[in-house]
Structure 1
Amino acid sequence: MSHTPSNAPPHAGAITDVAGIEVGHFSDPRRPTGCTVVLTREGAVGGVDVRGAAPGTRETDLLSPGNLVQQVHGIMLAGGSAWGLAAAEGAMRWLEERGIGLDVRFGTLPIVPAAVLFDLPMGDARIRPDASAGYAACEAASTQTPAEGNVGAGSGALVGKLFGVDRAMKGGIGNASITVGGVTVGALIACNALGDVIDPDTAQVVAGARTADGRALLDTRRALMRGELPKPLLAGTNTTIGVVATDAVLTKVQANRLAMVAHDGLARSINPVHTMSDGDTLFALATGRVPLEGDAPGMTVLGAMAAEVVARATLRAVLAAQSVRLGGLHIPSAAALVAANGQPSPL
């Protein structure tokens, strides 16, 4: 396995700019796979919205506004398809050892919802994140700006697979944040989309399906509209997953609404999105440091901020990615494809 070097895109904020949020990655050295944990040691009000038709998730029902649990202590994002959900067990163990969780009288129970993406084509599919990987991600967690690209849950991510993996490009993980009126919203996105990734400001395809010779971007949307047929797809073999976090005080109903409108950011940056072969899932966390009163922005502005940071983080996931060569499979990054065509770097 080898990769070409890449420079991360210019800093655009990070989910760890939100007070009370820590992020840790585990990247498996044996093949491109891994997991990423978002920790909220003091607890955070949580919400979730699942839009893809083939999700792999854990503990999402408890985030429904009508259900009992009010706070979560971490979110696990992992590769490995459904097997990768085991990484959440490692996070639970790590948190329990530190006395973090819900007091259930007979013990301290950490609440760690999770979502996974499908990265099994990248090397030996028997290697996938497990409880020890989740524990290691927690050990690495900090408030520093998280690494992006081919790390953690983005290690084995690919984008643009509608016309075959051999014409896909490297996905990854990215993050971004915005502060308006004293309130911060950040996003962390692991992008393994079936569709192309679009620059939301220019509407130009940045990474995705390539032409048959592999030298240029195909533009999946236009190819489909002119009648080009995709290859047969196995459900659930893609998926973009992530976390939107804010330091605002939100109710559980509001947190779920934030997760819902945050998907607008995926719609701006991925095309097609929310397909039958994607399990697109976004969690929302509110750490409750800033009341929404006085001159603070309300839910309409928070929703706009959430969609914006999700779109930016998705774009950064592919701009920070590095090319991968695995056996006979060569997956170029956005930067490498641009360089190969003698064009200026998109970074």
Structure 2
Amino acid sequence: MPRSPLAPLPFEGAITDVAGLEVGHFTDTRRPTGCTVVIAREGAVAGVDVRGAAPGTRETDLLAPGNLVQQVHAIVLAGGSAWGLAAADGAVRWLEEHGVGLDVRFGTLPIVPAAVLFDLPLSHSGDARIRPDAAAGHAACAAAGTQAPAEGNVGAGAGALVGKLFGAQHAMKGGIGTASVKVGGLTVGALIAVNALGDVIDPDTGAVLAGARTDDGRALRDTRRSLLRGELPRPLLAGTNTTIGVVATDARITKVQANRLASVAHDGLARAINPVHTMSDGDTLFALATGRVPLADDGPGMTVLSVMAAEAVARATVRAVRAAQGVRVGGMHFPAMADLDARG
């Protein structure tokens, strides 16, 4: 089966290349889980698009173009399924402590949408009560900075797996990745936590990079081709997967355009994950715009920005599995892309 060679990628930038953003991770040492926060202290116009059928989200309705709030102050990505949404409470507290938020006369109210992925199977003890909470969200904010964030088995990607359609025993390690694209004076960055039901694909070659393995565990099975040959997937618990992330730009765009940017950014997931947006995924992408660079034209300008967004998302998705490291949890081994390549 054709594979892309595992050569070190040139540095492809990070979401923090978008001026005005900070990123921080919290990774729980008790089991593979954690959360990640993207902070916009000065506020950012935001949009969202939920494509998976089993999402876990917070504060997404307020991002609809017709609703009142125009800017958000952070986005939280977390493991722990719906329980992990509690991490956003800690982010709100940290932002309030630092005077970041919307002035509502009675206090400073941080607006913090969030999305979660399901990483509960990765537990040494089988104790699913270990999941990101408010303290984890607070810690992620405290760790945030403008430097390029760590990738792989950290933050919201700590417990991520990919390629689970034929059973978790055949899955591989996912993770979190980041990338950025620059065209002219504009920058678009993405930060993607990849916990997909499907395989991760090299968008340039079509080769499977990480995903469901063959029965002997030594090679990639290629989920798309297996399904089209008539192989049946294992019964699935809805919502036990999900790829979540943030695409951000320094362009000055409206809330309507931010929602459109979140929508077209999913094209990047479709290039790099197959199958994607399934009934067992809650795939959700947020868009942030810091507004520091004018967009030259409402038509062609948004077209270029959209192409950049999809590209950044696809690259960040690939980087997530390239940076991942294999783990042994509960007697099972979930190899990373590097582990399979090392076998030749």
TM bracket, shorter-chain basis: over 0.9
Match of 2:231 among 219, 225, 228: 228
Q: Is the Cα–Cα contact under 8 Å of residues 122 and 330 in structure 2 kept in the other structure?
A: no
Q: Is the Cα–Cα contact under 8 Å of residues 85 and 116 in structure 1 kept in the other structure?
A: yes
TM-score by length of 2: 0.96
Q: Is the Cα–Cα contact under 8 Å of residues 102 and 111 in structure 2 kept in the other structure?
A: yes
Query: Is 1:283 the equivalent of 2:286?
Result: yes
Q: Is the Cα–Cα contact under 8 Å of residues 25 and 35 in structure 2 kept in the other structure?
A: yes
For 1:290 and 1:256, locate their aligned partners in 2 and report how far apart those are by CA, in whole Å.
Answer: 18
Residue 200 of structure 1 corresponds to 203
Q: Is the Cα–Cα contact under 8 Å of residues 27 and 34 in structure 1 kept in the other structure?
A: yes
1:2-25 Cα offsets, whole Å, 9 max, x none, are xxxx99743111000001110000
* Structure 1: unaligned runs, 5 residues or longer: 1-5, 343-347
Residue 97 of structure 1 corresponds to 97
Match of 1:333 among 326, 331, 336: 336
Distance 1:233 1:294, change over 3 A: closer
The AA in structure 2 aligned to 1:29 is: T
Residue 170 of structure 1 corresponds to 173
* Structure 2: unaligned runs, 5 residues or longer: 1-5
The AA in structure 2 aligned to 1:299 is: M
TM-score by length of 1: 0.95
1:108-145 Cα offsets, whole Å, 9 max, x none, are 10000000000000003110000000000000000000
After superposition, the CA RMSD in angstroms is 1.4
For 1:58 and 1:19, locate their aligned partners in 2 and report how far apart those are by CA, in whole Å.
Answer: 25
Q: How does 1:235-250 map to 2 (within 5 A)?
A: 235-250=238-253
Query: Is 1:189 the equivalent of 2:192?
Result: yes
For 1:60 and 1:145, locate their aligned partners in 2 and report how far apart those are by CA, in whole Å.
Answer: 26
Q: Is the Cα–Cα contact under 8 Å of residues 65 and 256 in structure 2 kept in the other structure?
A: yes
Residue 72 of structure 1 corresponds to 72
For 1:261 and 1:145, locate their aligned partners in 2 and report how far apart those are by CA, in whole Å.
Answer: 24
- Structure 1 residue 327, shift from structure 2 partner: 2.8
Q: How does 1:145-156 map to 2 (within 5 A)?
A: 145-156=148-159
Q: Is the Cα–Cα contact under 8 Å of residues 8 and 148 in structure 1 kept in the other structure?
A: no
Residue 312 of structure 1 corresponds to 315
For 1:9 and 1:196, locate their aligned partners in 2 and report how far apart those are by CA, in whole Å.
Answer: 20
The AA in structure 1 aligned to 2:229 is: R
Query: Is 1:211 the equivalent of 2:214?
Result: yes
Secondary structure in 2 matching 1:315: helix
Residue 135 of structure 1 corresponds to 138
For 2:289 and 2:270, locate their aligned partners in 1 and report how far apart those are by CA, in whole Å.
Answer: 23
For 1:245 and 1:206, locate their aligned partners in 2 and report how far apart those are by CA, in whole Å.
Answer: 25
- Structure 1 residue 34, shift from structure 2 partner: 0.1
The AA in structure 2 aligned to 1:75 is: I
Secondary structure in 1 matching 2:246: strand
- Structure 1 residue 79, shift from structure 2 partner: 0.1
Query: Is 1:253 the equivalent of 2:256?
Result: yes
For 2:8 and 2:327, locate their aligned partners in 1 and report how far apart those are by CA, in whole Å.
Answer: 16
Q: Is the Cα–Cα contact under 8 Å of residues 7 and 320 in structure 1 kept in the other structure?
A: no
Q: Is the Cα–Cα contact under 8 Å of residues 210 and 336 in structure 2 kept in the other structure?
A: yes
Greater mean alpha carbon deviation, residues 227-236 or residues 8-17: 8-17
Secondary structure in 2 matching 1:224: helix
